[in-house]
C-alpha cells in the first residue's frame, strides 16, 4: 500500500497509542542491565549455595565462571587444608552437590559461609550488563537443607537495585524465578518530534531535487 506523508504520520500516531495501551496493561517484570546478583540467607543461619545461575534470553548462564562470572563472599567455611567451600563453588557448573569435605578427594561444588547472619553474602558479578530471563539457585544436598531460604537482590552497573525476591530451596533443593522479555522501547515525545521533523525535512529535500526518486531508463 502506498502511503503519503500525512497518512504515514497518522499511522505512527495510532501505533504509538496502541503500544502505550499495551504497555500500560502489562504487569511485566523485566530485569534490564543486570551486572550482579547477591544472595543472603533469609534465616539466621549459614549461607550455603551449590550453584547460582542467571540466564540471559539467549539461554546463556552469565553467572557461570567459564562465561565470565566472578563470585565473591564475605567469608568461607574454614576447612583448613582443603580449598573447597569458597565462593567459586557457587558458579563452577557443578550442581546439585554435597558439601562433603570429609571425602577423599574432597567433593567440590558448594559454597559455605563461615558465619551465620545477615552480614554474610554471596555475590556473582557478570562480565557485562545483561538482560536476564531467569535466576535459579541450588541449595545444599547432603544435610541442613532447612537453611536454604535465600533473599536475592539483582543490581545494575551503578549499584541500583533492579529486583529483589525470595527463593526457597529447602524442600526441593532448588528454586527459580523468571522475568519477562522487555518489549521494544516506545520513543519519548521529544524523539517523536525529532522523527517527524526529520521526515518533513526529507520531504523538502526530495521536492528540491527534481531527479530524486526517479528510475533511470534501462
Ligand atoms: Ca557448584
d(CA 92, ligand 1 centre) in Å: 5
d(CA 161, ligand 1 centre) in Å: 25
Nearest-angstrom CA–CA distance, 206 and 125 = 51
Partners of 123 in the β-ladder: 38, 72
pLDDT recorded at residue 94: 87
Cis peptide before 203, with omega less than 30 degrees from 0?
no
For residue 218, count other CB atoms closer than 10 A to its CB. Answer: 3
Q: Return phi, psi of residue 96, to 5°.
A: -65, 160
For residue 160, count other CB atoms closer than 10 A to its CB. Answer: 10
d(CA 214, ligand 1 centre) in Å: 65
pLDDT recorded at residue 188: 56
Asked whether the CA dihedral 151, 155, 161, 162 is positive or negative, the reply is negative
d(CA 174, ligand 1 centre) in Å: 13
pLDDT recorded at residue 9: 36
Nearest-angstrom CA–CA distance, 85 and 50 = 10
d(CA 83, ligand 1 centre) in Å: 14
d(CA 29, ligand 1 centre) in Å: 27
**Tens-of-pLDDT digits for all 218 residues of the chain?**
444 443 333 333 333 333 444 444 457 899 999 999 999 999 999 999 999 999 999 999 999 999 999 999 999 987 655 556 789 999 999 887 777 766 776 666 889 999 998 999 999 999 999 999 999 999 998 889 999 999 999 999 999 999 999 999 999 999 999 999 999 765 555 665 666 666 665 555 555 555 444 444 44
Q: Where are the domains of the chain?
A: 5-26+184-208, 31-178
d(CA 158, ligand 1 centre) in Å: 28
d(CA 180, ligand 1 centre) in Å: 26
d(CA 50, ligand 1 centre) in Å: 4
What is the grid cell recorded at 162?
Answer: 533492579
d(CA 181, ligand 1 centre) in Å: 27
Amino acid at each position: 500500500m502506498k502511503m503519503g506523508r500525512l497518512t504515514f504520520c497518522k499511522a505512527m500516531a495510532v501505533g504509538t497509542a496502541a503500544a502505550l495501551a499495551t504497555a500500560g496493561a502489562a504487569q511485566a517484570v523485566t530485569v534490564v542491565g543486570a551486572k550482579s546478583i547477591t544472595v543472603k540467607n533469609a534465616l539466621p543461619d549459614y549461607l550455603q549455595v551449590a550453584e547460582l545461575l542467571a540466564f540471559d534470553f539467549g539461554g546463556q548462564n552469565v553467572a557461570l565462571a567459564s562465561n565470565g562470572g566472578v563470585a565473591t563472599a564475605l567469608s568461607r567455611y574454614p576447612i583448613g587444608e582443603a580449598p573447597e567451600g569458597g565462593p567459586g563453588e557457587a558458579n563452577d557448573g557443578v550442581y546439585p552437590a554435597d558439601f562433603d569435605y570429609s571425602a577423599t578427594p574432597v567433593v567440590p561444588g558448594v559454597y559455605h559461609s563461615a558465619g551465620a547472619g545477615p552480614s554474610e553474602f554471596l555475590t556473582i558479578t557478570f562480565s557485562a550488563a545483561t538482560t536476564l530471563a531467569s535466576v535459579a539457585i541450588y541449595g545444599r544436598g547432603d544435610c541442613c537443607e532447612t537453611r536454604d531460604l535465600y533473599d536475592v537482590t539483582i543490581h545494575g552497573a551503578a549499584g541500583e537495585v533492579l529486583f529483589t525476591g525470595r527463593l526457597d530451596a529447602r524442600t526441593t533443593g532448588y528454586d527459580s524465578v523468571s522475568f519477562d522479555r522487555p518489549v521494544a522501547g516506545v520513543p519519548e515525545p521529544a524523539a517523536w518530534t525529532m522523527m517527524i521533523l526529520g521526515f518533513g525535512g526529507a520531504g523538502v529535500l526530495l521536492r528540491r531535487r527534481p531527479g530524486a526518486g526517479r528510475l533511470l531508463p534501462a
